[in-house]
Amino acid sequence: MSEMKEMCGRQQLLVLTMEECGELIQACSKALRKQELFEYQNLKDEIGDVMCMLELMQDWDVVSYTEIEERVSTKRAKLAQWSELIW
């Protein structure tokens, strides 16, 4: 934790969010390699960790829920056009 003391709260928030996103990337890769897409606890844990960091970003006024919801709508529209994830 001593490495983080020189950073302000927002800097810590961004660094920790980056690290958690990286861990989620690794968990997604391992779930694919192990073919454990639905029962892979580490994947679920890392998703929760990233969700925590996103909530903290809202708590720290980096982004508002309204801004997030607007972006989610935009992304869903794009996915509906280009993938089979959205019906």
- Give the pLDDT score at 6: 80
- Give the pLDDT score at 38: 75
- From the centroid of its chain, how far is CA 3? 23
pTM, rounded to two decimals:
0.83
The per-residue pLDDT of the chain, averaged, comes to: 92
- From the centroid of its chain, how far is CA 84? 21
Q: Which one, of 47, 59, 65, lies nearest residue 12 by Cα?
A: 59
Q: State the average pLDDT over residues 15-42.
A: 91
Q: State the average pLDDT over residues 16-28.
A: 97
Q: What is the pLDDT of residues 34-55, one digit of tens each?
A: 887 777 899 999 999 999 999 9
Between residues 87 and 26, the one the model is more confident about:
26
